[in-house]
């Protein structure tokens, strides 16, 4: 099989990039570059592309059989070949999910409803790390809290747990420990501290695929919720990993989150490539990473409640696509995942956006706003996107901004659970599409495991 960067479609893109100059302003009136899905607007008119670029990118997506790869993923084929696993996080939010998912949803509903109905319960300690932490943490931060306050503990530093319980009381607190193996060092150390402080193992819940190990920690069988090897951690917030979401925002909100994600699943399956939003997002990332020399991209949510989105996407994208071999195990000579970074937009304006405007590197941006929102917030967001595009001429070199710098502007019609679920699932599918385009396995993370193994070895000495 020919390596990706030796294929005709890749070579055509390389030749096009080398022979063409691009002016973003040429795209501003192209309505075909603005896509809407259930009220979410994805505006791609501020990009360093032209009609020929899009034509060549779509041809590359066809060559890489992106639609066929998605079909195999949804069908449950074992596309995670290095671990011989299916990739079925979409089954967690399916209209008619598998029986084990239905049973898990029923368990989530029962536990969350019972806890929310008990007005003596004031605090939830959610223990997890990586995908067992970032997804639920983001969603709980973004949605309206109507239940107990959820405190997230990921760091093994004892100060993290001490901070979480500073104002909590053992008798009015419940603990949720989330760990696929129930052997990871960080969550197990924090669970040990939590059990000692709590003094009541009946108030501890576990989300794990290792039920036997959870029982060794004296967690009751009815308090253990399942995980499955066909769901990767960074794709797992839709499962029982999201129990804290259902407790914080209510099970109805959790169901709406799943419904929004399900709408994204339908879109990525059914929409043609030239109108397929996550595929277009992935193609733009590939264009900048492999043909325009861009090594990073910035995520700038102009909403305080989405302030954790850059961290969530950092793990989703860099852990998934930070790979150096293709799906045949061959070392590749082309770049994969760019560095993902960002923070809440208005704060970023006073932090690193100076570099985006005048630094020597071109760094594509995703601006994400809520409309309706505070007029000043939306004005700031669109002004930053336009300033990057238009730049500024000035006789004094230090005051000039080069402009012609690309961005996508994404607008949500409110920050409800369904809109959030749709946005996050679109980002998941973008990540998977990039893996298909680069011919890499987006669903393993063996590099992460190396450091864990070395740390265990050192602690055992």
The residues that are catalytic are 319, 350, 452
169 CB-near residues (< 8 Å, 6+ apart): 122, 123
Three-state secondary structure call for residue 392: strand
- What is the C-alpha to C-alpha distance for residues 85 and 77, in angstroms, rounded to an integer? 8
Residues in the chain: 461
Strand partners for 125? 151, 175
Q: Is the bond preceding residue 416 a cis peptide, omega within 30 degrees? A: no
Contacts for 325 with CB less than 8 Å, ≥ 6 apart: 331, 332, 440
How far, in Å, are 37, 41, 255, 299, 316 from residue 340 at the CA level? 24, 22, 29, 7, 10
Strand pairing category for 40-46 and 149-153: unpaired
| 3-state secondary structure (DSSP) of residue 204 | strand
Q: Give the DSSP per-residue string, 237-253.
A: TTTGGGHHHHHHH-HHH
Pull the structure tokens for residue 237: 């917030």
Pick the closest to residue 222 from 144, 111, 72, 296 (CA basis). Answer: 111
Q: Residue written as tokens 């195999």?
A: 72
Cα–Cα dist 307/344, whole Å: 5
In whole angstroms, give the CA distance from residue 251 to residue 17: 49
How many Cβ atoms sit within 10 Å of the Cβ of residue 135? Answer: 26
Which among 114, 78, 75, 77 is positioned nearest to 94, based on CA atoms? 75
Bridge partners, residue 124, by sequence = 150, 174
Contacts of 170 (CB under 8 A, 6+ apart): 197, 198, 199, 200
| Torsion sign, CA atoms 227, 232, 233, 239 | negative
């Amino acid at each position: 099989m020919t390596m990706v960067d030796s294929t005709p479609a890749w070579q055509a893109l390389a030749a096009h990039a080398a022979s063409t100059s691009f002016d973003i302003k040429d795209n501003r009136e192209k309505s075909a570059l603005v896509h809407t899905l259930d009220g979410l607007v994805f505006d791609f008119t501020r990009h360093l592309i032209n009609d020929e670029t899009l034509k060549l990118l779509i041809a590359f997506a066809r060559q890489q059989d992106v639609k066929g790869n998605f079909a195999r993923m949804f069908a449950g084929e074992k596309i995670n070949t290095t671990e011989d696993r299916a990739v079925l996080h979409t089954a967690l939010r399916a209209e008619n999910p598998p029986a084990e998912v239905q049973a898990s949803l029923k368990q989530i509903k029962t536990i969350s409803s019972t806890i929310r109905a008990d007005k003596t319960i004031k605090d939830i300690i959610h223990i997890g790390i990586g995908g067992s932490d970032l997804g639920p943490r983001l969603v709980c931060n973004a949605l309206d809290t109507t239940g107990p306050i959820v405190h997230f503990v990921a760091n093994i530093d004892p100060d993290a747990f001490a901070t979480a319980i500073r104002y909590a009381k053992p008798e009015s607190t419940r603990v949720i420990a989330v760990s696929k193996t129930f052997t990871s060092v960080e969550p197990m150390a924090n669970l040990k501290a939590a059990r000692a402080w709590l003094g009541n193992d009946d108030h501890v819940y576990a989300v794990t695929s290792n039920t036997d190990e959870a029982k060794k920690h004296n967690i009751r069988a009815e308090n253990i919720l399942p995980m499955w090897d066909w769901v990767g951690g960074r794709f797992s917030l839709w499962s029982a990993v999201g129990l804290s979401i259902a407790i914080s925002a209510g099970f109805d909100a959790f169901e709406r989150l799943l419904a929004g994600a399900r709408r994204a699943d339908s879109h990525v399956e059914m929409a043609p490539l030239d109108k397929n939003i996550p595929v277009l997002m992935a193609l733009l990332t590939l264009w900048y990473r492999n043909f325009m020399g861009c090594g990073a991209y910035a995520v700038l949510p102009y909403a305080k409640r989405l302030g954790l989105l850059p961290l969530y996407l950092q793990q989703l994208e860099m852990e998934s696509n930070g790979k150096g071999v293709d799906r045949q195990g061959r070392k590749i000579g082309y770049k994969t995942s760019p560095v993902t970074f960002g923070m809440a937009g208005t704060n970023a304006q006073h932090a690193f956006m100076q570099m985006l405007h005048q630094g020597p590197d071109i760094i594509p941006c995703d601006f994400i706003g809520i409309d309706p929102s505070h007029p000043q917030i939306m004005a700031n967001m669109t002004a930053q996107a336009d300033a990057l595009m238009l730049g500024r001429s000035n006789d004094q070199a230090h005051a000039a901004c080069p402009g012609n710098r690309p961005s996508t502007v994404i607008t949500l019609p409110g920050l409800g659970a369904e809109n959030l679920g749709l946005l996050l699932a679109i980002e998941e599918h973008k990540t998977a599409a990039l893996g298909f385009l680069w011919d890499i396995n987006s669903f393993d993370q063996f590099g992460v495991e190396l450091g864990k193994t070395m740390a265990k070895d050192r602690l055992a000495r």
